[in-house]
A = this chain, B = another copy of it.
Amino acid sequence: MEDTTNGVPQVIIVGGGFAGLWATRGLARAAVQVTLVDRRNHHLFQPLLYQVATAGLSAPDIAAPLRHILRRQQNAEVRLGEVTRIDATRRVVGLADGTELGYDYLVVTSGATHGYFGHDDWAVHAPGLKTLDDAFLIRRRLLIAFERAEAATEPAEREAWLSFAVVGGGPTGVELAGTMAEIAHHTLRREFRHIDPAAAKVRLVEAGPRVLASFPASLSAAAQRQLEKLGVEVSTGIPVNGITAEGYRLGEQFVPARTVLWAAGVAASPLGASLPATTDRAGRVQVEADLSVPGHPEIFVAGDLASLQQDGRPVPGVAPAAKQMGAYVAHAIRMRLQGRTPSAFRYRDHGNLATIGRMAAVVDLRGWRFSGLLAWWFWLAAHVFFLIGFRNRIVVLINWAWAYFTYQRHARIIHDPPS
C-alpha cells in the first residue's frame, strides 16, 4: 500500500464525471490531499455525447483531460486506473494493477451504465450511449448502415439497412432519434447513387404511455409533434421484447432493422456492490441525508450511483444533481474536518431541458414551459455555457453554426475499415 499521508487527511475520489470533478474542486482550499482516480484520462461533457454519436462533434470538443482541468489545484492529483475493490474496514481501495491506496475519506462517483433489464444478450445488437467508445460504435453503425444499403442488391436487405430504431423515449432516445432523422433527410442528401437516404425509417419506441415522461404531459405531446415533424415515427405503449441482429420484436410484431440503439435502461456501476451498504433494484447505493453510507460517515456516494429520496421523490440522475452532490460532499468533508456536522443535502431543481433536433426542444423551468425554436436556442445557450473550457465553446459554436446553416456534420469519419 502506498503511504503518502504525511499526516494530511487523504481523500480518494473515484470517478471524474460531474460529481467527482465538482467534489475535487470543492476541496481545493481544504487541508487535505485529494487523489482523483478514473479509468479514463478525461472528463466527459455527457449531455452532448449524442452529438459525437451522430457525427456532429468530435471527441475533443466535449472532453478534456482531467490532469489539465486540475493542473493548478496543488492539493489534487489524478491517477489513471480502475478501482476494482473497496475495503471499508482497512480503508483502502484496490486498483486493477494491484496497487492499494489508503484513504481517510472516500467519495465514490462511478456513475451508471446501460442496463438491459436482464436481457444482456441484447447489448451486442443494441448499443447504449455512456462513453466516448459507445459514441464511436454508434457513429460507426449509423454510417455503415447507409453504406450497406447503398451496396445491397436485394430490396429487403436494403430496407432492413435503412430501418433504424431507438429503444427508450427519455432525453437520450429523443435526441438520438431526432438527430438520426436529420442525418437521413438532410445531411446525406445527394451523396448516394443507389438509395435515397431520406427513405430511411427512424422509429422511437417507448414502452410507457409518452416520451419524455419526466416532463409535464403538454411538453411530452409537443416533443412527439416535433419528432414527427422531423420524420421520426413515434411508438408508445408497447414494449420491445426481443432484439436480434435482424431487427426487434414490438409486442407480437417483428420489425426488420439492422440498426437498433438502446436508451431505455440504466444500471449502476458495479462498484456500488463492494460498499458496505444497501443497493436498490438498479444497483444504486442508498445513502444518508448527508450522502454518506450508513455506519460509515467517512464514505460518500454522489452522482448517478447514489439513491436518495427528497420530498417523496427520487433525486434524478441528471448532470445538475451530480454537480450539486459533488459540491455538497466537498462541503461535508470540510465540515467534518472542523468537527462540525453538515446539514442535509438539498437538491435544487432549476428546471429541465431536452433537445429533439434541428430547432426543436422542450424547456420546463419551474412552471415556465415552452417548446420549439425558442426552446432550442435556450438549450443551445445553456449547453455551450456549461461546456468546460474556453476553446471548446468557440470551436463547438463554430461547428454548430456550420452544421446549422449547411446541414453538414463534420465528424462523419469511420476510423477503421469495416470488418
Contact = CB atoms under 8 A, between A and B. Distances in A.
B410 A132 contact: no
Interface stretch (A34-42, A120-128, A206-214): A34-42
Contact of A418 (B80, B392, B408): B80
A408 B68 contact: yes
Contacts of A271: none
Interface stretch (A59-67, A229-237, A311-319): A59-67
Interface in A112-145: 132-133, 136, 143-144
Interface residues of A, number: 56
A232 to B, nearest CB: 24
A188 B78 CA distance: 13
Interface stretch (A189-197, A220-228, A279-287): A189-197
A54 interface: no
Interface stretch (A8-16, A299-307, A394-402): A394-402
A277 interface: no
A159 interface: no
A375 to B, nearest CB: 27
Nearest to A140: B41
Given A60-B413, A68-B191, A413-B132, A151 B39 contact: no
Contact of A413 (B42, B398, B410): B42
Given A80-B151, A190-B72, A133 B395 contact: no
Nearest to A391: B402
B193 A415 contact: no
10 contacts: A2-B153, A40-B414, A42-B412, A63-B413, A65-B412, A65-B413, A72-B190, A79-B150, A82-B417, A391-B410
